[in-house]
Amino acid sequence: MVRVLGIETSCDETGIAIYDSELGLLADQLHSQIKLHNEYGGVVPELASRDHIRRISPLIKETLKEGHCKFSDLSAIAYTAGPGLAGALLVGASVAEALAFALSIPALPIHHLEGHLLSPCLSPVPPSFPFVALLVSGGHSQFMRVNRPGSYEILGESVDDAAGEAFDKTAKLLGLPYPGGPHIAKLAASGNPKRFHFPRPMIHSGDLMMSFSGLKTAVSLVVAQHHPVDYADIAASFEAAIVDTLCSKALQALDQTGLKQLVIAGGVGANLKLREKLSETIKAHGGEVFYPPLRLCTDNGAMIAFAGAQKLLMHQKPVTSSTFSVFPRWDLQAYSTTYQD
């Protein structure tokens, strides 16, 4: 049995959780900075770091209380070491490393995307390995083949904006607050998705590459020619273009790999239209779609605690233990050299 405290501070959410390999998730606390950054239209890195500093210790105490745990019950402290905002990552990394040192237990640096990729394993009905993961967040749109924890292959990705970024930028064009995804979805619910035909970029490219920056340009042209009364139709038509593109590529990803299970991870995975259409499309082709619970789609400490527990269960240790670094830009390939058996 292992019990891991997970710390996530890569962007604008302080997430702390405790995962127990036998009992599951014991506690999961989150403090979102959305309100703090709202008036700036995006995340202000320095404000994010300062808020993580303010929140992290009280939140760790709260998490231990929720999980009825003591520090001495923990087997390791896992933390997001990258990618993300350097200052924000450093808050989580230094607290995790200091705690682990004081408790004489391992500190486990975790790749943020690995957290997202494994988060569906925390669902009541988890997928089994191997599966295809569609990771759609504010910074990434990628198809990955997940063979087992720690073994990932990129099948295709966006050549420019991430899907979440497209939601955020389109929201800005429509005068909606950050982060744009949930606001676009809400507005789109009362709009006509067929009124405007936005491009389905690279849908016939024959591979799993995607592109979303042209979509934002197409939306900006339509916005310039219309009035706020048309914005719900624009939001619905935009959402439909993203959903269609992701569904078509997802189907292709399963065809290409011969796998049957598709797992959705990352913030855009919270989009209900995407969930509906993906389930429908994939089921119709004999596949199965897995979603993490909604609250685990966006950034959280639970996925980091879970990923850390997998490292311990596989007897993997970080290569360096006396120093630590954070990696604002970090690919999964480079991450794989961080651990040894």
Per CB under 6 A, residues contacting ligand KG4 are: 11, 137-139, 164, 167-168, 179-182, 185, 266-268, 270-271, 298-299
Amino acid at site 205: S
Choice between 2 and 159, CB closer to ligand KG4: 159
Amino acid at site 264: I
15 binds, among Zn ion, ligand KG4, none (CB under 5 to 8 A by kind): none
Binders of Zn ion in range 204-243 (CB under 5 A): none
What is the closest distance, in whole angstroms, from the C-beta atom of residue 340 to ligand KG4 in the complex?
Answer: 27
Q: Among all chains, which residue has been given the structure tokens 């009905």?
A: 125
Choice between 10 and 252, CB closer to Zn ion: 10
What is the closest distance, in whole angstroms, from the C-beta atom of residue 294 to ligand KG4 in the complex?
Answer: 9
In the chain, at which residue ranges do the beta strands (DSSP E only) sit? 3-8, 13-20, 24-32, 76-82, 107-111, 131-136, 141-148, 151-157, 261-265, 288-290, 317-318, 339-340
DSSP character string of 208-263 = S-B--HHHHHHHHHHHHHS-GGGHHHHHHHHHHHHHHHHHHHHHHHHHHHT--EEE
Contact pick of 137, 158, 279, 310 for Zn ion (by CB under 5 A): 137
- Site mask for Zn ion (CB under 5 A), range 287-306, x = bound: ------------x-------
Q: How many residues appear in the chain? A: 341
What is the closest distance, in whole angstroms, from the C-beta atom of residue 86 to ligand KG4 in the complex?
Answer: 15
What is the closest distance, in whole angstroms, from the C-beta atom of residue 151 to ligand KG4 in the complex?
Answer: 22
**H helix or E strand, kind and range, residue 164:** helix 163-173
3-8 and 76-82 as β-strands: parallel, antiparallel, unpaired?
Answer: parallel
Residue 165 touches Zn ion, criterion: CB under 5 A: no
- Total interface residues for Zn ion by CB under 5 A: 2
Q: Which two tokens stand for residue 304?
A: 């980091």
Choice between 90 and 268, CB closer to ligand KG4: 268
Residue 12 touches Zn ion, criterion: CB under 5 A: no
- Contact footprint for Zn ion (CB under 5 A): 137, 299
